[in-house]
A = this chain, B = another copy of it.
Amino acid sequence: MRISARADYAVRALLELAAAGDESPVKAEAIADAQGIPHKFLEGILTDLRRGRLVVSRRGGSGGYRLAAPAETITIADVIRVVEGPLVSVRGARPPELSYTGPAEALLPLWIALRANVRKVLDEVTLADVAANRLPVLVRTLAEDPGAWTNP
């Protein structure tokens, strides 16, 4: 289960916009520099985000990108869905589209539960939460468990 570079970059780009506020747009190159993202690659990602209505853009001298909605209303799950598609998929299909037989029958509710627990984190955290370093209590609790940081 991997988060692609596209998704990671998309979230970081939006966090820069969330931090910049609503006064003036931020240029793609400024975002790329701030977060160390290849600038032409980022442009493609920003196009996806615009088509997904998460950002609005303006061209010209004092142009750039702004969030299309308040940072408090955009969740991390929203971002991943725009750039990566479904949050969780199994063999390219969403869990409800799968069918299992024999001893594997209970796999379907398992994948559903997995997706539910992923949503519990990504659907609850907004860009504003991350940018201000104020994660919801549930998420803080999960992250504060010492075992959560050890590798296997």
Contact = CB atoms under 8 A, between A and B. Distances in A.
A45 interface: no
A86 B151 CA distance: 9
Tell me what chain A mostly uses at the interface: helix, strand, loop, or mixed. helix
A148 B35 contact: no
Interface residues of A, number: 64
A143 B110 contact: yes
Count copies of this chain in the complex: 2
Interface in A80-136: 80-81, 84, 86-92, 94, 96, 100-107, 109-122, 125, 129-131, 133, 135
Contacts of A114: 118, 121-122
B116 A118 contact: no
Nearest to A119: B148
A2 interface: yes
Contact of A35 (B5, B104, B145, B151): B104
Interface of A: 1-5, 8, 11-12, 15-16, 18-19, 34-35, 76, 80-81, 84, 86-92, 94, 96, 100-107, 109-122, 125, 129-131, 133, 135, 139-140, 142-143, 145, 148-149, 151-152
